[in-house]
Amino acid sequence: MTIAILSALPQEQEGLVHAMSDAQGTAHAGRMFWRGRLHGHDVVCALSGIGKVAAATTATALIERFGVRRIAFTGVAGGLGEGVRVGDVVVADEYLQHDLDASPIFPRWEMPGYGRTRLPCDPEMTAALLAAAQACVAEAGEDLRAAHATTAPRAHQGLIASGDQFVGTAGASSALAQGLRAAGHEVLAVEMEGAAVAQACLDYGVPFAAMRTVSDRADDSAHVDFAEFVRVVASRYALRVVDGFLRRLAV
């Protein structure tokens, strides 16, 4: 059963492709897809692209062209939830699209034609991803604290929101979190692609799981040292978590 490892950033994908055996690249739909073997699994690695449409296109290509039957997604996100700090990892159990609003025809955040606001992640894959994330932050915590003077990193599980905008001010972050919370959506992190991949996977009946390394608090400091954080922290997290995830996942 082929599994796709979808990365949001090239720095995350590089280590994964290097770790694969018999890696072969294929250009399709303006993207590069890397096929090979990793920890006993047939794997396809790809970059999602930025934004929901790009990510949905990539997910569809993985399913239609490359025949993947499971998709796992790594990347970075801004922390929204209480206690979610820079350097933490959030494993999604559900997704929603925070910029979806077809009201008054449909309730805000409800997906037209689906009768739901949230998109589920696969329980088995999510459990394996969470266990791998917990092991990763336990092992890598001291390195992260030394490099970035942060508190000890933690792994969280919960709701992640996606939208086609970079949430980069304290005002926007607060308004987003408060609006969703008032409607019963306690969001831990925000990014730009995951919900679209979750929707494509729901349509095709393909199990899906995702993790995000928290790179910022989705506020006015969101742009500070982002490239350095990705290089030093997020890319290493992605490699370690995917490694542990695949070792825990049944072939």
> Active-site positions?
12, 216
Q: What is the CB neighbour count within 10 angstroms for residue 129? A: 29
- CA dist 112 and 228 (Å) reads 40
> Are the C-beta atoms of 199 and 118 separated by less than 8 Å?
no
- CA dist 27 and 48 (Å) reads 14
> Are the C-beta atoms of 188 and 218 separated by less than 8 Å?
no
- CA dist 159 and 219 (Å) reads 19
Looking at the DSSP assignment, which residues form a beta bridge with residue 46? 6, 33
DSSP symbol at 116: B
- Strand residues in 59-114 grouped as ranges (E): 70-79, 89-97
Kind plus residue range of the DSSP H or E element containing 189: strand 187-191
Look at the block and give the residue holding tokens 């790179």.
215
